């Protein structure tokens, strides 16, 4: 039953004699008092003057014929004793209401906390309690949520806030009278011996980090002994995942791991490389350990056999917190290199059985991405990971040489025919004005990148390719793109492009 329904029942019962004088010493019910007055009754709220109350009620209803709820958010006084004899009087605050309606046996510590936080609990009752029947545990959880300024059940953020802002949060909990309840809550997670906030905070921090290493990374319990209780395995991952992903707290995670625990303990020397560890992202030392293993076990002879495993690991690690946070920068280029290597090797196999059109179609549909990958790799400054990158460059150079030779062989056999008419026919048929830009050396992969950028806010952007002229040098290639251009071999054995007998071959 909701709080408002409980209060409505009490008010309705007390109004049987027509006048109900209601003292609420903490004023907690003031925000909802109007909602609990039954239809047909009038509400009179104390606003600092008992004399004003008398003038208002007795001036309007001297014989007390109407039903009145007189709400006084103050301690009980003798100023309205005659009204109390006429009707009913009740000193009713949140604690009294809960004791009466829920029949709970509340400890003195819970009662004190309730009295300190009554106003906030009442204001947020529906969010904190919903329609659940109050229990002692539910009340304590709601008190903690109020102190943390969170919705009930958000234990993950409460733990994070306590670790990140220990002094401020501990002070708020003490002020709200719920610090001991918080220690009890943390005691469900890991054994707490001390009540000192710093010691508690440091223990929770290490228990979280070491717990993820052991439960998710399959590390030894004999090495990482400060652990949460096993049944808390799921909430460990949930808390740390939330801490790392929430922009409000992610910097504090780095500080806690690197500047605190990392300086106190040499994590790397305690880690054991296991398959499960490749998915853990607790410490950046995990990445260092995995990289060292890949470097020590990979060479030019076995890279091709190991590339699938390297790609899988790099893909997984590139999506972890430390890579996204740019504290670990090598997984992205390792991932690109592994995919480039595999793609080039596959292209070398495929190109041998393709004709001219199939080679071109394959390039414009997928092989152009190899050029884009190499361009992206050029943006990284390689360090220790370079041996895992060079294999891709070798494969790419081999791919370029062989595929271009295969295209040349196919062109010699099948020929090459310039097709520019469809482009200019599109321009002349366009319903709106068309601007044509001639850009020298704009590679196909760069054009695809440009298209991606232009698509933001554009109705339609696409790439359509055409057979250009050979050789594809600036003097000939760009000039031949002009409308009505004519390509010819002149007397000095050079290629010339002309429009209406005017040479347009020059770069200018």
Note down pLDDT in tens along the chain; length 508 residues.
578 899 999 999 999 999 999 999 999 999 999 999 999 999 999 999 999 999 999 999 999 999 999 999 999 999 999 999 999 999 999 999 998 888 788 899 999 999 999 999 999 988 888 778 888 999 999 999 999 998 777 889 999 999 999 999 999 999 999 999 999 999 988 888 888 999 999 999 999 999 999 999 999 888 888 888 888 888 998 999 999 999 999 999 999 999 999 999 999 999 999 999 999 999 999 999 999 999 999 999 999 999 999 999 999 999 999 999 989 999 999 999 999 999 999 999 999 999 999 999 999 999 999 999 999 999 999 999 999 999 999 999 999 999 999 999 999 999 887 766 566 777 788 888 877 777 777 888 888 888 888 877 777 777 777 777 777 777 777 777 777 776 665 656 677 777 777 777 765 5
Secondary-structure percent of the chain, ordered helix, strand, coil, rounded to 5: 60, 5, 35
Q: Which three-class secondary structure state does DSSP give residue 415?
A: coil
Per-residue tokens: 415: 């020929």
Per-domain boundaries in the chain: 3-92, 154-272, 285-414, 421-503
Contact 173, 179 (CB under 8 A): yes
Give the count of beta carbons closer than 10 Å to the beta carbon of residue 255. 12
Q: Which three-class secondary structure state does DSSP give residue 49?
A: coil
Q: How many helices (H) and strands (E) does the chain have?
A: 25, 7
First CA to last CA distance, the chain: 85
Residue 69: strand pairing partners: 20, 43
**Looking at residue 148, what is its pLDDT?**
93
Residue 68's φ and ψ, nearest 5 degrees, are -130, 135
Outline where DSSP puts E strands in 195-328.
none
Q: Which three-class secondary structure state does DSSP give residue 21?
A: strand
The DSSP secondary-structure symbol of 448 reads H
Q: Which three-class secondary structure state does DSSP give residue 444?
A: helix
Q: Closest Cα partner for 332 from 320, 343, 342?
A: 320
Q: What is the dihedral of CA 267, 325, 316, 218, to 10 degrees?
A: 20
d(CA 63, CA 66): 8
- What residues contact residue 177 under an 8 Å CB cut-off, 6+ apart? 109, 112, 113, 116, 117
Residue 488's φ and ψ, nearest 5 degrees, are -145, 160
Work out whether strand 67-72 and strand 41-45 pair parallel, antiparallel, or are unpaired: parallel
Per-residue tokens: 448: 């695809």
Report if pTM > 0.85: no
**Looking at residue 489, what is its pLDDT?**
56
Per-residue tokens: 311: 């790609």
Task: Tell me the torsion sign for CA atoms 22, 26, 29, 34.
Answer: positive
Residue 370's φ and ψ, nearest 5 degrees, are -65, -40
Work out whether strand 67-72 and strand 495-499 pair parallel, antiparallel, or are unpaired: unpaired
């Amino acid at each position: 039953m909701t709080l408002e329904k409980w209060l409505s029942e009490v008010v309705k019962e007390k109004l049987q004699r027509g006048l109900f004088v209601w003292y609420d010493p903490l004023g907690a019910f003031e925000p909802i008092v109007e909602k609990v007055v039954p239809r047909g009754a009038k509400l009179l709220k104390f606003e600092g003057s008992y004399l004003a109350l008398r003038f208002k009620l007795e001036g309007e209803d001297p014989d007390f014929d109407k039903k009145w709820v007189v709400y006084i958010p103050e301690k009980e006084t003798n100023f309205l004793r005659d009204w109390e004899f006429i009707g009913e009087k009740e000193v009713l605050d949140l604690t009294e209401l809960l004791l009466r309606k829920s029949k709970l046996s509340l400890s003195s510590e819970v009662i004190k906390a309730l009295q300190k936080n009554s106003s906030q609990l009442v204001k947020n009752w529906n969010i904190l309690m919903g329609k659940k029947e109050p229990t002692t545990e539910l009340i304590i959880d709601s008190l903690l949520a109020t102190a943390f300024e969170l919705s009930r059940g958000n234990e993950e953020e409460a733990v994070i806030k306590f670790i990140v802002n220990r002094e401020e949060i501990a002070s708020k909990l003490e002020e709200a009278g719920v610090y001991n309840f918080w220690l009890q809550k943390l005691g469900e997670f890991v054994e707490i011996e001390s009540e000192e906030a710093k010691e508690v905070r440091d223990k929770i921090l290490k228990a979280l980090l070491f717990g993820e290493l052991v439960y998710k990374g399959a590390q030894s319990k004999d090495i990482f002994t400060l652990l949460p209780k096993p049944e808390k395995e799921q909430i460990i991952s949930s808390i740390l995942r939330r801490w790392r992903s929430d922009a409000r707290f992610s910097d504090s995670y780095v500080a806690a791991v690197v500047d605190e625990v990392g300086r106190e303990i040499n994590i790397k020397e305690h880690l054991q490389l296991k398959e499960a560890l490749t998915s853990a992202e607790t410490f950046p030392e995990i990445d260092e350990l995995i990289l060292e293993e890949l470097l020590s076990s990979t060479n030019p002879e076995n890279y091709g056999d190991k590339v699938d495993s390297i790609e899988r690991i790099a893909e997984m690690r590139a999506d972890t917190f430390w890579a996204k946070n740019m504290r670990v920068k090598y997984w992205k280029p390792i991932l690109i290199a592994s995919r480039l290597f595999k793609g080039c090797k596959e292209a070398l196999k495929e190109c041998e059985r393709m004709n001219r059109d199939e080679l071109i179609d394959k390039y414009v549909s997928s092989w152009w991405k190899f050029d884009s990958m190499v361009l992206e790799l050029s943006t990284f400054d390689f360090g220790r990971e370079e041996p895992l990158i060079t294999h891709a460059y070798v494969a790419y150079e081999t791919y370029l040489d062989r595929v271009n030779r295969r295209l040349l062989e196919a062109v010699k056999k099948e020929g090459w025919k310039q097709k520019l008419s469809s482009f200019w026919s599109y321009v002349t048929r366009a319903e709106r004005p068309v601007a044509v830009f001639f850009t020298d050396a704009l590679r196909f992969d760069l054009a695809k990148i440009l298209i991606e950028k232009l698509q933001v806010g554009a109705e339609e952007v696409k790439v359509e390719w055409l057979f250009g002229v050979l050789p594809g040098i600036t003097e000939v290639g760009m000039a031949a793109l002009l409308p009505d251009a004519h390509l010819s071999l002149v007397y000095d054995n050079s290629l010339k492009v002309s429009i209406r007998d005017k040479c347009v071959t020059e770069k200018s």
